[in-house]
Amino acid sequence: MFNFPFSLQTFFVDIILPVPIPGYFTYRVPKDWEAYVQKGIRVVVPFGTSKVYTGVIVAVHSNPPTKYQAKYLLEILDEYPLINDKQLDLIEWIAGYYMCTPGDVFQAALPAGLKISSQSKIQLNPTFEEWEQLTEKESVFCNFLKEKESCTFDEAKSFLEVKSPYYLIKSLVGKSAIFVFDELKDRYSPKIIRKIRLTEYYTHKEHLTQLIGVLEAKPKQLAALLLYLQHISVLRDPSLNAKGLDKKIFTQSEISESSIQTLLKNEVFEVFEQVISRFSEGDDELIPTKFELSNAQNRAFQEILKSFETKDICLLKGVTGSGKTEIYIRLIQEALANGDQVLYLLPEIALTTQIVMRLKKIFGEQLGIYHSKFSDNERVEVWKSVAEGKYSFIVGVRSSVFLPFNNLGLVIVDEEHETSFKQTDPAPRYHARDVVTILAKMHQAKVLLGSATPSFETYYQAKNDKFGLVELNERYGETLLPEIHLIDTKYAAKAKQMNGGFSEEILDKLRVNLEAGKQSLLFQNRRGYSPYIQCQLCEWIAQCTQCDVSLTFHARDKELKCHYCGYKETLPTRCGACGGTSLQTMGYGTEKIEEEIQMHIPGARIGRVDLDTTRSKTAFQNLILDVQNGNLDIIVGTQMVAKGLDFDGLSMVGIFDADKIINFPDFRAHERAYQLITQVAGRAGRRGAQGEVYIQTNQPTHALFQAIIDGDYEGLYQEEIVEREGYNYPPYVRLIRLVIKHVEDTKAKKAANDLGNLLKQNFGAGRILGPEKPLIEKIRNLYAQEILIKIENGVSLSKFKINLRENLDLAQSWPSFKGVQLIVDVDCL
């Protein structure tokens, strides 16, 4: 590095800080550091009276800020840019497009471990072993951390007796010796399993065969040993012994604990602990790696390549079970062979399933996984591995768009219609599917969007030749799409064919399916036991104290819970209004379905898949494995089960409450209902015989059902698109939603009205809808009002937004906006 000892200018840097304040911040560079500052490097700076943040440099210049006195940088963290130019451009683009601050985006983009601040908390990595890599000071600090669960930034500072401990902390993060996290909930807790293996002596074939002979006389111990050898074939390959066997496998089988203990005592077995991070490594030998593409798949594959010759974005519209994944794999292999990086986005929950294990098996060390259930430390690891080129292929959730790619060649967005690609809260409220198109453009990469039921926005682009369009209309292996039947619940009720929420027909089919050894899936999009409880005398309904919603009864916890703010209370015994004791649970949640089905079909092994049963990182995966291994007969689940699951034995699907999905008050209700029901139905009969789907509804003549039964996506699209055009909804306009919140109802209304009038004046009344109260008026004691802005295609979005921003800034300076929270959601869903 060179130095400019005689430079007369003063150096300033503009940096992004992780704070929700618009714009960049200018700091002064101490003379000695002038040679070291450059774009993309992280620096530590003082902020406000006492805070300290990590920011990233976006520009180096010699212009002092005009409105304030620039403070000096405290520390430079990187020798080389940690954040590349494309990432900085992307951050800026997102901030502009989604009308938030670069700081909001920066906050979302970087794992906490890469942006140490005065609010950071620090913890020793419990699995850290390479102490010899530490400097003396680092090692002293780590020993200090060893004695505590975690320490605050200030504690670190005073222990180290230095003004600025950042460099040391950063170095320790780099060596994976410590973790830095923002909040207690992010604290890293490794999962440790206890495993058993043979002691070294018995890994030798002659010792082992001898032992087997000896144990002939002790059948219980022999059984334990044989169970081990059945899983770990040490006789074939002694090195396999190192893997060991999860202790649980012994306890779950018939093996007695005492025989294990004896074998341990006699030093045949030994126990060791293994820390498992991320997912099981896909060492399942049953996962196949190689498939031949079918003719249809091959045709689609070729068409995609062809489309990429002239277009950057292609939609692969392939029915459920058509084997889109195989086509992705082929494309990924090509891109990697080309030396390009690949990003494969999946909706959150699909990431913990079979497909990821299979990808891991195929792509091995090149593949990194980026999941929201990862600890921050794991995210830092993935970040580093992408930057260093160790991972050239990332499978991840929406936030993986922020990883430090430098040579992206292909981006795949699977299940592109999924709403979970859009972040709702907090800002940046970005849509990962849309962001990747910009990201891809920066890298000159291709984008493949895949879905059986594309969003109408995407399909519209494809229809209008903006995107390529490739269709795959048959399932792999000539399996037929499931047959869909409607069950008229009104009629069934009259004919006395309803058992509570279940029609006789569904129960019968479940029994038949069970007897045939097949699995069934029941879909109910509500978790908990019952969505509300009601007094039978006065009709009082238990409500959340902070939100405008009823409380859901959760039977297992015997509690009423609010699904919006987390408020809980124990189940009351008396009515909150009249004091009567006849409270009744009303409606069906997954818990109640599980309970009642168990009652109707006593022998069935039932599993439930919803937010409550899958909170931990491995819970969902374990449930999936149980289904796959045939340990469950019936699965009851929420929309979590709609995404990308692929089970051989699942041949029947039952759908409850379809009416609620269809009648949801939203212009996208039919599109969504079609997607959701088709996707859930698509889980049935994916292999071999045709599957069956039963939908309970009290409006069986609704046209949407016919479209679903016929798989007539095109027909539905044609019909809806006319309405969208007629009433000015996407894809014919862009939508921006403004949400105005205040603790007082009247103040929220007043502010929203004032703002609404201003916008109508400046943008024309036709473009502004509302203000109106949202579906749920109050959440967490804040009352909300919404304004919807429609921007016709053809209007310059960027100009419109600048103008809108000015209007919003003006409104926020008004007295009526005091204490008001204003949220801007661009391309709201």
Give the annotated binding-site residues: 535, 538, 544, 547, 562, 565, 575, 578
Min. distance of Cβ 554 from ligand ADP in angstroms? 33
827: left (phi over 0), alpha (psi -120 to 50) or beta: left
117 interacts with, out of ligand ADP, Zn ion, none, CB within 5 to 8 A per kind:
none
Whole-number Cα distances in Å, 751 to 425, 738, 740, 766: 22, 12, 7, 20
Considering only 446, 608, 686, 702, the residue that binds ligand ADP (CB under 6 A) is 686
- Residue numbering of the annotated binding site for Zn(2+): 535, 538, 544, 547, 562, 565, 575, 578
CA atoms within 13 A on the CB side of 351: 25
Min. distance of Cβ 293 from ligand ADP in angstroms? 5
For residue 531, state whether it binds ligand ADP (rule: CB under 6 A). no
Closer residue to Zn ion, CB minimum distance, 287 or 541: 541
Tokens at 122, concatenated: 């620090």
Cβ atoms 741, 732 nearer than 8 A: no
Contact positions with Zn ion (CB under 5 A) in 496-535:
535
Cis amide linkage into residue 774, ω under 30° from 0: no
Spatial neighbors of 670 by CB under 8 A, at least 6 apart, are 662, 704, 716, 720
538 interacts with, out of ligand ADP, Zn ion, none, CB within 5 to 8 A per kind:
Zn ion
Considering only 325, 392, 590, 697, the residue that binds ligand ADP (CB under 6 A) is 325
Contact positions with ligand ADP (CB under 6 A) in 457-516:
476
For residue 326, state whether it binds ligand ADP (rule: CB under 6 A). yes
Cβ atoms 677, 694 nearer than 8 A: no
Min. distance of Cβ 473 from ligand ADP in angstroms? 11
Closer residue to ligand ADP, CB minimum distance, 87 or 320: 320
Site mask, ligand ADP, residues 160-199, x = CB under 6 A?
Answer: ----------------------------------------
Cβ atoms 544, 551 nearer than 8 A: yes
Distance (Å, whole) CA 611 – CA 632: 19
Contact positions with Zn ion (CB under 5 A) in 580-609:
580
Min. distance of Cβ 710 from ligand ADP in angstroms? 19
Contact positions with ligand ADP (CB under 6 A) in 615-674:
646
Q: For the sheet containing 552-554, what is the strand order?
A: 552-554, 559-561, 568-570
Closer residue to ligand ADP, CB minimum distance, 357 or 782: 357
Distance (Å, whole) CA 322 – CA 414: 13
For residue 297, state whether it binds ligand ADP (rule: CB under 6 A). yes
Spatial neighbors of 295 by CB under 8 A, at least 6 apart, are none
For residue 301, state whether it binds ligand ADP (rule: CB under 6 A). no
Residue type (1 letter), 555: A
Whole-number Cα distances in Å, 429 to 68, 502, 668, 739: 31, 40, 19, 13
546 interacts with, out of Zn ion, ligand ADP, none, CB within 5 to 8 A per kind:
Zn ion
For residue 540, state whether it binds Zn ion (rule: CB under 5 A). yes
Whole-number Cα distances in Å, 414 to 210, 323, 324: 54, 12, 9
For residue 291, state whether it binds ligand ADP (rule: CB under 6 A). yes
Min. distance of Cβ 292 from ligand ADP in angstroms? 6
Distance (Å, whole) CA 561 – CA 591: 14
Site mask, Zn ion, residues 546-585, x = CB under 5 A?
Answer: xx--------------x-xx-x-------x-xx-x-----
Place of tokens 């071999």: 688
323 interacts with, out of Zn ion, ligand ADP, none, CB within 5 to 8 A per kind:
ligand ADP
Distance (Å, whole) CA 176 – CA 365: 19
For residue 72, state whether it binds ligand ADP (rule: CB under 6 A). no
Closer residue to ligand ADP, CB minimum distance, 323 or 589: 323
CA dihedral 244, 247, 251, 252 (to 10 degrees): -70
384 interacts with, out of Zn ion, ligand ADP, none, CB within 5 to 8 A per kind:
none
Nearest residue to ligand ADP by CB is 323
Min. distance of Cβ 644 from ligand ADP in angstroms? 6
Q: For the sheet containing 519-523, what is the strand order?
A: 483-488, 692-697, 650-655, 519-523, 634-637, 606-609
For residue 323, state whether it binds ligand ADP (rule: CB under 6 A). yes
Considering only 102, 113, 244, 321, the residue that binds ligand ADP (CB under 6 A) is 321
Place of tokens 């019968």: 508
Min. distance of Cβ 288 from ligand ADP in angstroms? 7
For residue 800, state whether it binds Zn ion (rule: CB under 5 A). no
Q: Note the residues at the interface with ligand ADP (CB under 6 A).
A: 291-294, 297, 318, 320-326, 476, 646, 686
